[in-house]
Amino acid sequence: MATGTRSTLRTAPFTWVTASIFTCSCGIFFDELSDDDADHGMDDGVDAGSETDGVEGSATDADHPPRLEEGGFEGPCVPDAWAGLFETEGAPIEFALVGSEIVLTSGQAPVVESLRAPLELAFGNAGGDPIVVFDQAVVDDGVSGTGVAGTVVITGPMLLASAGTVTGIGIGTLSALHPSGVIVSPQDAPDDGQRPDLGPDAEPLHVAALAAASPFDLTLEDLQVTGYEAAYVVADGAVVPLAGPFVVDAPRVYWPIGSSILAEEVSAQYEGVVLLALEPLEGELFDGGQPVAELPLVTWLDRPALRVGPNRVATEGPFLSRYAMGRSRSLLGSSVELRICHAETLVFSPLQTRVLTLAYRQPDGLRDAAFQSISVASTDGRMWTSRIELDPLLPTTLQEQADTHPDATWARGLVNFIEGWTEATTAISRGLACAFTFGFVCPDGDDDPPPAPTPLARYPGWMEPGDLGTFELELTAPPEPGTYEVTIHITGQNYDTSISTPVVVR
């Protein structure tokens, strides 16, 4: 997934999906202002967007002494040292999930390490009779009592095996949507042109089919073949027919190009990022060895080793994961760091509103961070009037999954989330615009556009690993002069961060 590429996917249970977030100390709205207070209205006669607005004043009478001077800010708001300082290790996850509609999406095919029977091999078109050939094989038909070494040839449209394992298939693609198993489509292996000798009396169509088949250096262990059209063993130039079930072991296989295998369970190693989506029914998810109460609908997996079967998926050992989304919240912990790009001590007039610039980053480069709420308060328990605007965009991968699998239960849930967010955002944005103008110009009808508050640089509602940037916070001082220790506290669905600063109101 490309960092910074996002869509408008929204989830109704997610409480953070608002275009503008506004918190206030209620006394500011309902206390009547005195004549003196009226001189210090929302803007106090200065531009709210300036970092030093209201810092130096010219009033010299007793009621309005000169304001304190606020120091400057040196250096870039986002320091150079913030870029690229990512951890190399993080809390790994493990899971064993039972569910339906399992989808595994990756930019590259995995290495298929093993298949477990029951197996069903559906042959592709080999340009002749469909056959599969096991070279250097040992076969036991359960009749002679001893294994026969040679080349096993099986013909027919498919092969069925009731037990045994196949390892070392190599690169392939997986589909976990089949109700009876996982479909593996192996990619063509390097071909040295060598083929086993089927004997002087071999069927020409079988020789042609073998020449067109793909070779694979893999291992068959105790593969119990139970379904086929016809089979025989070529041993020392003689042809020995096979009838009924038999067990075969072999290190090399030739099967037609375009063949696919339906397996009871597949073990595969991915080298890239994988998106796992499913409708979870039961199971367990562990983050850093600790159990997570909710099961994931969608999870980003980083180079996982997985065991996949019909309606189940599990990890083979721990690995890192960017994000896991449940029905109502983020499931894996993340972290966010904040920085105030102003003087060490801020100076306000009573009731002055300023726009402050802050920097943010997701510091470890490991986990997505999802916003939930923000509050600004001082140590005396006072909530300060504040407002931010959110960037409401999410990575496009979630939207793409919903579009690709529209009939899946989990995908329909994502679509419902989008529709719910759109309605909620429209209503909340309209209400906040009215609130921040104290209701003086709030429209009477739905047809009138609401007054637009001062646009702010947005805070990311969804922060991807390693993201950094700046946002703006609109902050209003209380009417009472004094020195305050003010904390900006941002709560995420999967993180919690805050930063404090002294504020002098005079």
Q: Parse the chain into domains and list their residue ranges.
A: 6-86+334-440+450-505, 93-98+270-325, 109-267
* Most distant CA atoms of the chain, gap in Å: 117
Note the CATH architecture for domain 6-86+334-440+450-505: Sandwich (2.60)
pLDDT tens sequence across 388-443: 888 877 777 777 776 777 777 766 655 665 555 445 444 444 444 444 444 444 55
Q: Token pair 């042809």 is at which residue?
A: 239
Query: Of the ranges 117-131, 137-151, 222-236, 433-447, which one carries the lowest mean pLDDT score?
Result: 433-447
pTM for the model = 0.72
**pLDDT computed for residue 128 by the predictor:** 53
434: CB partners within 8 A, 6+ apart: 442, 443, 450, 451
Q: Which pLDDT belongs to residue 472?
A: 96
**What six digits make up the tokens of 457?**
């640089």
Angle, helix 409-436 to helix 396-404, in steps of 10 degrees: 140
Report pLDDT for 129.
66
Which of the two residues, 256 and 22, has the higher pLDDT score? 256
Pairing mode, if any, of strands 93-106 and 273-287?
antiparallel
Q: How far is CA 441 from CA 32, 35, 406, 434, in A?
A: 18, 22, 43, 7
List, for residues 41-94, the tens digit of each pLDDT value. 334 333 333 343 434 443 344 454 455 578 888 889 999 889 876 766 678 999
Q: Is residue 46 a contact partner of residue 352, using CB atoms and an 8 Å limit?
A: yes
